Structure 1
Amino acid sequence: MAVDGSFNAEATARYAVRFAHASGASLHVLTVISPRATGEEKDAAMASVERIVREGRASQIETTGLIREGRACPQIAAVVQEEKIDLAMAAARRRHARENRYFIRTVSRWMMAELPCSVLAVRVVDPGRLAHPRKMLVSLGPDEALAASLAPVVSMLARAAHVSAEILTIFEKSSGFLREAAPAVFRRHESRAGEIAAPIRMALLGEGREAEEHFSVVPFACRETMARAVELHAEAILTAVTRREASRRMLRSHPLEILFRETPCDLLVFRPG
């Protein structure tokens, strides 16, 4: 878990603590201090690491605090290699007030595009819940392998937070397709949605939870995800992207940037290793 002393990073770290506890994993809490950091920023970053380490150890998790100096990305990559990290987590937060960006040109985006391990980027919208959402929306696309890779994360979150879930499978189609498609086409998409959602369904059943399943055929998947989250009163959205999607040239209109910027609730975006 990479932290920088910010409130958002500490809130995200609560998810890391819960995941580590649920999976029996060890937890490494890293902060990288920039050569340009002020004394106040250094103190805040180190204090943040100490607080999270204490919380992890209080939960009977093998927790290690790491403080490095230099540029964030090379130091994170070095720790991932040295410690043989399986899952790296980072907070997504507004990086530039004028540009209002959450993912473009950020460390979170670099981690998802470049690290060899799996990565989970988290934007905390409601810090008051302390990484304990009561209901999550698992948003899937047409990629069956990507949906299957999300199943262990669903299991961890269900086990860690005792969360209920709804599954939404979205097929992105043009407005022209939607105007001309016959009802049989939508029935085929509904059938395929059930196949795509099967690993998530089984993961939830393995944790003693059932989930309502939905499917949509719409022009913009990210907008549909957020609209359904509001409609279903979800307190967290969980979705997955490929390395290629995370590596694409980032524009303000990129679906990931829109999701991170406008999500109505906590957002967890998983990129498998």
Structure 2
Amino acid sequence: MKIELASSYGFCFGVKRAIKIAENAKDAATIGPLIHNNEEINRLRQNFNVKTLEGIDELTDEKKAIIRTHGITKSDLEQLNKSGINVIDATCPFVTKPQQICEKMSNEGYDIVIFGDENHPEIKGVKSYAKGNVYVVLEEDELKNVKLNQRVAVISQTTKKIEKFMQIVSFLMLKVKEVRVFNTICNATFENQEAVDALSKRADVMIIIGGKNSSNTKQLYSIAKQNCTDSYLIENETELNKIWFNNKDLCGISAGASTPDWIIQKVIDKIENFN
């Protein structure tokens, strides 16, 4: 059986930047999981004494607080800055952008529509920058009975699929007079999704590696599953099952933006041992 990696996969710019920030900070606490990968978070804790707090209310005697890649709410950031603690911002620049757009457009009187998961930390943070009406949706149907301003600004969670974003935009253009569209889906998401789509159309079995609470990893798995029935989402090599690879000719592998190379290599090594 041949093993082939997708042409684009794994750590994105924002995650690489955050990991480097955390390693250099040492002896710090992140506000929420720095990234959506438990294995990497454990490595940072063990090797660099970077612990994870669920929120700012768990801070005690920490001297340094790292803001997670997904960002935090505006009120939490303001409270942190007033606390006197050394605040180290590891928010991905691709997440900071929709925060800024949300604040600017709501200040100008636009209703804000966000394509994303209401409970995702990135969206909680972005939404907090809106001063007026803000609606978080996953489907255009959710907007059918909403009385929107005739001026609407639309943004997306950075890890969502462009096709669905376009559907929501098209719906709004038929519903209101003015729609300002900001494509805030990051390039790494585009590239990883296109790569897994192409590979999964040729593969007999697909392995997607990443945190099961990671939005971008789940999107990769969803795309792979559409093209290749035998697609599996795993966090590490211990979840692999030898039976998955019986009578397969091509195993495709991709990984979410928060998945480090060392985890990917362990998965490849174990699959090669199955061979």
TM-score tier after normalising by the smaller chain length: under 0.3
TM-score, reference length from structure 2: 0.26
Q: Whose radius of gyration is greater, 1 or 2?
A: 2
